[in-house]
Structures are given as C-alpha cells and as structure tokens.
C-alpha cells in the first residue's frame, strides 16, 4: 500500500444526556420539521418518546415506525414518498441497523430526487444532490451504521440483501446516548456486540486496511474486550453501554474505510438465503473465517492478540503462536456469551439447513466483501467455512 483515503465526516455527540442535544443539532443543520424513523418495538417500550420529547420545541413533520427487521426497497420508497408528501426537511433515525439503513436509503432518494431505490444501484459516484440533514441515533451497539457509508437493504424480488455504498449515505450527526441501549436484552447485546468485534477484526485484516482505520479498529477491540460481557451481564451499566456504543461507532468508521471480508460476505448471504440475524451469523462464522485467513494475515492476527487479550498473555505467547491465540480469544469470548445468553455458536444451533450451503456460497461469492478479503475466496473455501461453522 502506498496510498489511502480515510473519511469520517459524522459529528459525534456521545455520552450521558447526548440526546438532549438533538433539537440543537437539527437546527444547526438547518432543519425545522424533521421526519422521525423508528420501529414499533421502540415506540412500545418508550424509547421513541425520549426522541419526541427531545424535539418538543420543534415541529415534527412525520413519525414513521412501520419498519421491519429486514427493511426493503419498497419500505424505503414508501417512506421517501411520505417525506415529500409531509414537507419534511430532515431525517432522524432511531433504531438498529435496519432503521438506520432505511433512513440512508430514504436520504439517497430525496437527495437525488429519485422515486425508486432500484434506480440507484451502483450509486458509489452519485453527486451530493439536495441536502437532507440526517441524524442517526443507534439503539444497538453493533452495526456501526451511524458511522458508515454503507446501507444493506433487502430486495424481496431477488431474495437478496443489496449493499449500497456512497458517501451520500453517511449521517451528518450521530448521537450515542447510553439511555438508548440500556433496555437492549442480553442476547441482542451479545449478538450485536460480536458484530462490532467482527467489523474491527475484518477492518484490521482486510486488503484495504490503512494506519488510520487500524487505529479505529484497535480502539474498538479494546472497548469490546473490556465492556461487552459487562454490558451483557449488567445491562443497566451506563458505562458499559456507553463504551459499547463508542466501540460500535469506531468499528463502523474503520470498516467504512477499509471494508470487511469473507465473514461478512458469507454472513450477508446467510441473512438473505437462510434469514440468520446478522450478529448471530458474525458470531458463528468469525472463528472459521479467521482460521481461513490466518495463512495470509498471521502478523495482523498476532498483533490483535495484544488488544483482544491484553499485554500479559501477549507477552507470554511466542510470536509464532500469537495468531492462533487471538482466534482462541475470540472462541473464549463466544463461549462466555453462549453460556450467558444462549447465543448460537454453530449454524446447526441457528437452524440452518446444510442443503442451502451451495446457494449461500454462490451468493457470498457475489458479495463485494470477498474482493478485499486478504485471501482469495473460492466456492470450495466458502463451503468449508460453512461446514466448519455448522459444527462438523
């Protein structure tokens, strides 16, 4: 590598009470009647009310909560139409990856003055277009979507998850308030936390890595190491929740620049074909994916041992054994989460039918993440990773 680019234009408002800044942040972005996107569960448990209360002195243009777990192109198109019909002038997205990615799709449609997201496939080079102020408020600490230029949106017609990548998708502002994640159940905390870890590890080892994305990835890994189990065990610990929210943002900014790898490629395919939740898939596939890549990134994984396990184990482990020890650290963390929450560690536990492996492998090879994986990914390699992850 002799050249790289790194971008992270998102303003971060992070910490206890950060949500109280929402109206001010919208005002300085020039917005006066935002559309608020969320989901029915967040409305039911009162998290959405925290946002509408924070906007009490502003006129909300429209609240839309009918966003499913795996949002689709149709949902995005429908919301964009309502945004125009109700004369909204900004987007506030409160939720997990699905809500945030839906908002990204809506922003793309409004800014480009297009009605159907299918028209914007391959949108990497679209111009800036009409400004649409966009504030993201994540309620999980996992996807990192609040810091990325990526949106994953389902195309039900083709039965696949489509990946949109564009700088026009990056939120203007991310609000990380530990109050937004403290009601997250332990199992989802575990699953989304492993997604964060996977973003950081893949960002640190993929072909597009660079010194700046490395710094973000390493910081994220340290926060996950020290706080994920604590956030699972003691969900009301605002310190642990805050640390995991920061980890998610850092890992998101890392992989938005360096990209991910084979674990995400297969995970996206498993989501599309077998409907395995993304974080569960990352948790299941990460060790086998690392084993596959180990041949090509022994030094990177060896360095990761320091951040995954701390200096004592790193110092005690001979250099040639550090990469393997890093994978064992990931396995140990998985075992602890499995014991605490039942988070599946095999595809068998996740209910995946091995007869679907060929379909999953074909979809994985079409995923952009295989291009930057440190080791060339073949059909046979994907099948092998799936078989190992099944529990064979």
Binding residues for Fe ion, per CB under 5 A?
Answer: 195
Nearer to Fe ion, 102 or 317 (CB): 102
d(CA 335, CA 194): 12
How far apart are CB 259 and Fe ion at their closest, in Å? 11
Nearer to Fe ion, 195 or 300 (CB): 195
d(CA 387, CA 282): 15
**Which residues are CB-neighbours of 391 under 8 A, at least 6 positions away?**
346, 347, 348, 349
How far apart are CB 12 and Fe ion at their closest, in Å? 20
How far apart are CB 32 and Fe ion at their closest, in Å? 34
Distance set, CA 358 to CA 119, 252, 273 (Å): 30, 30, 10
Nearer to Fe ion, 35 or 386 (CB): 386
DSSP class of residue 257?
H
DSSP string over 233-250: H-TT-HHHHHHHHHHHHH
Strand, helix or coil at 191?
helix
Nearer to Fe ion, 195 or 329 (CB): 195
Point out the residue whose Cβ comes nearest to Fe ion: 195
DSSP string over 94-142: EESHHHHHHHHHHHHHHHHT-S-GGGGTT-TT----S---EEEEESSSS
Distance set, CA 43 to CA 63, 124, 259, 293 (Å): 10, 33, 33, 42
How far apart are CB 252 and Fe ion at their closest, in Å? 9
How far apart are CB 202 and Fe ion at their closest, in Å? 8
For β-strands 91-95 and 35-37, DSSP reports them as: parallel
How far apart are CB 48 and Fe ion at their closest, in Å? 24
Nearer to Fe ion, 89 or 195 (CB): 195
Phi, psi of 96 (to 5 degrees): -85, -160
Nearer to Fe ion, 70 or 195 (CB): 195
How far apart are CB 218 and Fe ion at their closest, in Å? 18
**Which residues are CB-neighbours of 309 under 8 A, at least 6 positions away?**
225, 325, 326, 329
For β-strands 134-138 and 173-176, DSSP reports them as: parallel
Nearer to Fe ion, 107 or 278 (CB): 278
Strand, helix or coil at 184?
coil
What tokens were used for 143?
């996807």
How far apart are CB 280 and Fe ion at their closest, in Å? 11
d(CA 241, CA 232): 9
Nearer to Fe ion, 266 or 386 (CB): 266
Nearer to Fe ion, 36 or 266 (CB): 266
How far apart are CB 195 and Fe ion at their closest, in Å? 4
How far apart are CB 145 and Fe ion at their closest, in Å? 9
Nearer to Fe ion, 274 or 313 (CB): 274
State the helix-helix crossing angle for 298-309 and 211-233, rounded to 10 degrees.
40
């Amino acid at each position: 590598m002799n050249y790289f680019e790194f971008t992270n234009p998102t303003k971060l408002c992070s910490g206890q009470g950060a949500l109280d800044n929402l109206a001010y942040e919208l005002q300085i972005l020039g917005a006066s009647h935002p559309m608020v996107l969320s989901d029915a569960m967040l409305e039911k448990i009162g998290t959405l009310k925290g946002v509408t209360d924070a906007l009490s002195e502003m006129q909300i243009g429209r609240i839309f909560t009918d966003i499913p777990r795996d949002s689709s192109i149709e949902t995005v198109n429908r919301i964009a139409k309502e945004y125009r019909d109700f004369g909204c002038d900004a987007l506030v997205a409160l939720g997990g990856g699905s809500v945030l990615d839906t908002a990204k799709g809506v922003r793309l449609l409004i800014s480009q003055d297009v009605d159907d997201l299918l028209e914007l496939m391959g949108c990497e080079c679209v111009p800036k277009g009409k400004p649409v102020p966009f504030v993201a408020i994540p309620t999980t600490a996992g996807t990192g979507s609040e810091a990325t230029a990526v949106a994953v949106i389902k195309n039900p017609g083709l039965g696949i998850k489509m990946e949109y990548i564009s700088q026009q998708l990056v939120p203007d502002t991310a609000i990380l308030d530990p109050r937004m994640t403290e009601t997250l159940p332990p199992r989802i905390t575990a699953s989304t936390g492993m997604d964060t870890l996977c973003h950081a590890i893949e960002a640190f080892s993929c072909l597009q890595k660079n010194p700046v994305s490395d710094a973000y990835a390493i910081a994220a890994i340290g926060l996950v190491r020290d706080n994920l189990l604590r956030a699972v065990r003691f969900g009301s610990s605002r310190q642990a929740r805050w640390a995991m929210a920061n980890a998610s943002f850092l890992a998101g900014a890392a992989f938005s620049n360096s990209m991910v790898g084979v674990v995400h490629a297969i995970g996206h395919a498993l989501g599309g074909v077998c409907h395995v939740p993304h974080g569960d898939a990352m948790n299941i596939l990460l060790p086998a994916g690392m084993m596959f890549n180990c041949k090509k990134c022994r030094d990177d994984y060896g360095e990761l041992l320091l951040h995954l396990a701390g200096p004592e184990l790193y110092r005690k482990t001979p250099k040639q054994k550090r990469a393997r020890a890093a994978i064992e650290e990931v396995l140990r963390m998985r075992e602890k989460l499995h014991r605490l929450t039942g988070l599946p560690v095999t595809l068998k536990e996740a209910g995946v039918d091995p007869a679907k492996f060929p379909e999953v492998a074909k979809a994985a090879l079409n995923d952009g993440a295989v291009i930057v994986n440190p080791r060339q990914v073949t059909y046979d390699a994907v099948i092998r990773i799936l078989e190992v992850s099944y529990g064979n």
